[in-house]
Structure 1
């Protein structure tokens, strides 16, 4: 699998300019707290830095009197089914397969179970019947359709944005791939914006915002792209340096799009998915193997039907936007 670096497609760039880069949002105290704590985190390890900064870099959820519909979780395990394969056997032998998908933080839609576990109950983004249509082979069962992920590194550990970007590229490629397959299974033709993903990398000194998308190459395979959108220093704010304030506004814009137009498009696609097959009942308790008759074994029972999202796609995706290409500049490789 290759991660390409190059120009962002025009449609996606327009979305970034009009939505993500909107600086009209009011300023929140989060950026100031991030800047104030940044000096303390430079000598910390990765775990300490995350604990200190994550609460202000991301969003408060409803349980903390914050945002409805979303969930912010650390160390989320994604299903390996969505790991893109290496482009050929030579690359796989040379570099090995990609390892387990696990963003340090993931932001997505809260599940019904987590929403109803609150007292009083929170509002979930998807209805229970909608969850039933997608959870058979979801990217993760801990939250739905993640739209922002983050990989943290620490200067103290000697690792930085290069290492974080490799992990972020792996996570972003899997998310984009799962979105393409979701829309295709629902027989919807998504735009490149519908299946794009945003991620962050940080070394507790600088925060970088990335966008991920997919293009189909001339051989019918998938090329996964990742490009830098913006970066900002985690340092005390000055009238001339408002980078962290602008970064926080961009993240707020991504959130508003995610709980607005993006969620609307996802729910429209879910409506086209069939209901999952009913679960088959297990044999009644108390019946021993000897006491079961030939009718109990049901030799003519129909074969179980697989959920449409459980079948791996024959190829990674349909071309989201024809005519765009870029030269591969770096090969994705797990640390």
Structure 2
């Protein structure tokens, strides 16, 4: 088991490079990865099961004790990201399927890898975990509703079908993970050690499958999609930090909110796009998987080298 922990740590540390490598390989040699598409929802469920095992009831006490950072992050998550996606799609005059896919990327909850980046950035990790958990639980209603309002002009959005799928691949696995953690702690402790590696492999499998299925369209639409995703991600990081600063959150909380909003659940975005929109609509989420982790790593490295003002942190948190 010690070996598994070591491999899991290595995979998590260099995740962005594995994402880029797997995407390039699937793009150049798509055939071996195509059969994986049939298992994408199951793979996403495995990822969310792992997330559920990291959630503790104490995490949600933050909402009662310090509601402002959590509620600010939640509101920003489902306003800044979808609205900036909508604006970018219009500004760049993206094709309908890419435009809908970009809005979908902006409408999904925060990604689990954001928690790792916040930890490395010396940000407020409990806040990050709480934001990820709550945005994920809100996603079955928020994601399809936002997508219906903003993207239905480009592609038909089936609210209830998408709602049902999110419950199946997100809420049920997360609930199962929480239940096992609560009632079978010994099994949970053993499983947790392997889950980072399993989650990394599942994410790589999902991305490889989607890239393989869309390698030709990715080649023709890639530049516009890349620019859109980069602008979207930069907007989330900057506006998230700005919103946190405007409400005078602590520096560590600003880092958490910025990264949490800027990094989306790209696996869910790719899965929903493939199942309910079109394979081409999954492209922004595929690109986002690599780019979000790339910029997240850069921000985490930069902030990890900047010392936090301990006095400022303690004064604001006690206020």
When the two structures are superposed, what TM-score results if normalisation uses the length of structure 2?
Answer: 0.30
Question: Radius of gyration: which is bigger?
Answer: 1
Query: If each structure's helix is expressed as a fraction of its own residues, which one has the higher value?
Result: 2
Query: If each structure's strand is expressed as a fraction of its own residues, which one has the higher value?
Result: 1
